Chains A and B, each alone.
Chain A
């Protein structure tokens, strides 16, 4: 079977913000809306230095566990205006953030159910191709224990690199902290998709 060769990946380079930074793209929902949560963190390189020229993209289901895409054939309901995509360019301290809703559970393969999670793309200068990871939630202990993707990882410390830590933040917006370590002792688990 003759397939066409794919176009190769190349780095976003140091000037990605020219095209990729735009107002409000970190907000999948308004900050004051019901069920809004904030996910924030820092991207670190292998020397522990924050990465100021990275872009983090997320893709997620809505709070009902439905992706805004025709190939999600579940009966869960779409929410008008919730696209599920967000983008955050890191600042000079390597920080990124998103304001969103925690996704509902979506199907895994077979009859499994996945824990609430976000699919994550990381691009930066010095990265020739994007790395892919997932963000899970520390307050979803039961569903995390059942998640078929998390369960591919035996090592407890490695699993932890995929789990955003809940911080109730005294009644303001619920916050989750999720740092990304491109390399080193705490290296984030990345996925081959």
Chain B
């Protein structure tokens, strides 16, 4: 029996702690006991592959609902899903959700007094291609207030959920937009200890992939956990 090939371990600098004082809701939702470290077995190195999921046409385009255009700044969000070794992660499910251009989610618990848009739901899905590439068309989300502290506002963001090839490559994150003035005040963004890891959550404006007279474009690559003992090829 060959042993399963383990994935790399996560660094505490690259990910947020379970308890982050400035994000109040973590107070009663973080475990106090230490997590028990387990070796990777077949359970951890396998994971859902969604090979039977058939996307409907238009699931990657949030900017049109029932044939009608949503309000706001139309954008593309595209890039690649990679592993830590820089290899593409093909055929993996990517789910996104976001608020509309005014900063309002289509959700009964969103009480922000900003208008809903009848032509915007804010949900999309896509499967990365053979090269790990993906591309969504959407509307630039607005910033929105939340109840964490006085005058708290979230920087504009899109929620992303990815699976990758294994149970341990699961990633749920948020993608931000360049030069948002709210970064400095946002405890969710700032919960990541490493500055470079925080910066990696910010997409890049890319003029080359804009579409003239149609849409601006932001690029964002995801990097999922890779194998532990990746033999490094130095190109020789």
Q: Footprint of B on A, CB under 8 Å?
A: 1-20, 45-47, 49, 51, 53, 57, 59, 61, 67-69, 71-74, 83-85, 106-109, 111, 114, 117, 119, 121, 123-132, 149, 152-153, 182-183, 187-193
A46 to B28, CA, bound (A): 5
Binding stretch for chain A, among B64-72, B127-135, B189-197, B207-215: B189-197
Determine the distance from Cα of A119 to Cα of B40 in the docked complex, in whole angstroms.
12
With A4-B86, A7-B173, A8-B16 already in contact, the answer to whether A191 and B35 are too (CB < 8 A) is yes
- CA–CA, A157 and B142, complex, Å: 47
Question: Do B29 and A51 have beta carbons less than 8 Å apart?
Answer: yes
Contact between chains at B28 and A47 (CB < 8 Å): yes
Q: A5-B196, A12-B172, A183-B29 given as contacts; is B45 within 8 A of A19 (CB)?
A: no
The answer to whether B97 and A1 touch across the interface, beta carbons within 8 angstroms, is no
Most chain B beta-carbon neighbours within 10 Å: one of A16, A20, A69, A193: A193
The smallest beta-carbon distance between B156 and chain A, in angstroms, is 13
Considering the complex, give the chain A residue whose CB is closest to the CB of B170: A121
A9 & B223 in contact (Cβ 8 Å cutoff): no
Whole-angstrom distance between the Cβ of A129 and the nearest chain B Cβ: 6
Within 8 A of A (CB), among B1-59: 1-5, 8, 10-11, 14-18, 20, 23, 25-33, 35-50, 52
Residues of A within 8 A of B123 (CB): 18-19
Describe A's contact surface by its main secondary structure: loop
Q: Which 4 A-B pairs have the closest CB atoms?
A: A126-B25, A85-B48, A69-B46, A128-B16
Contact yes or no, A67 B42, CB < 8 A: yes
Does B10 lie within 8 Å of A6, measured CB to CB?
yes
| 20 residue pairs bridging A and B, Cβ less than 8 Å apart | A4-B82, A4-B85, A6-B223, A10-B173, A11-B174, A12-B172, A20-B161, A67-B42, A67-B46, A72-B42, A84-B48, A109-B3, A109-B41, A126-B28, A127-B18, A128-B17, A182-B29, A187-B31, A193-B37, A193-B168
State how many angstroms separate the Cβ of B188 from the closest Cβ of chain A. Answer: 6
A46 touches B36 (CB 8 A): no
Are A20 and B192 in contact (CB-based, < 8 A)? no
Do A123 and B172 touch (CB < 8 A)?
yes
Q: Are B15 and A192 in contact (CB under 8 A)?
A: no
* Neighbour of B167 across the interface among A7, A45, A59, CB < 8 A: A59
Q: Which residues of A contact B23 (CB under 8 A)?
A: 11, 126, 128
* Chain B residues in 8 Å Cβ range of A51: 29
Q: Does B60 count as interface, using CB distance less than 8 angstroms?
A: no
Q: Which residues of B contact A149 (CB under 8 A)?
A: 38, 41
**Contact: A125 with B25, CB < 8 Å?**
yes
Are the CB atoms of A128 and B191 closer together than 8 Å?
yes
Q: Given A67-B42, A126-B26, answer yes or no on A11-B36 (Cβ-Cβ < 8 Å).
A: no
CA–CA, A178 and B185, complex, Å: 38
Interface residue from B20, B86, B96 paired with A128 (Cβ < 8 Å):
B20
Contact A182 B36, beta carbon cutoff 8 Å: no
A107 touches B188 (CB 8 A): no
Shortest CB distance B89–A (Å): 11
For residue B167, which residues in chain A have a CB less than 8 angstroms away from its CB?
Answer: 59, 119, 121, 193
B200 surroundings in chain A (CB, below 8 A): 5, 7-8
Answer whether residue B206 sits at the interface, using C-beta atoms and an 8 A cutoff. Answer: no
Which residues on the A side are within 8 Å of B3 (C-beta)?
A: 109
Query: Is B198 on the interface with A (CB-CB < 8 A)?
Result: yes
Which of the residues A14, A45, A107, A130 comes within 8 Å of B170, measured between beta carbons?
A130
CA distance A152 to B4 in the complex (A): 19
A133, chain B: closest CB distance, angstroms: 9
> Which residues of B sit under 8 angstroms from A3, Cβ to Cβ?
8, 84-85, 226, 230
Nearest CB to that of B8 among chain A residues? A3
Q: In the complex where A11-B188, A12-B159 touch, is A59 in contact with B224 (Cβ < 8 A)?
A: no
**Cα distance, A47 to B27, chains bound together (Å):** 10
Cβ of B109 < 8 Å from any Cβ of A?
A: yes
Complex CA–CA separation, A131 to B31 (angstroms) = 9
Question: CA–CA, A106 to B23, complex, Å?
Answer: 39
| B121 lies within 8 A of chain A by Cβ | yes
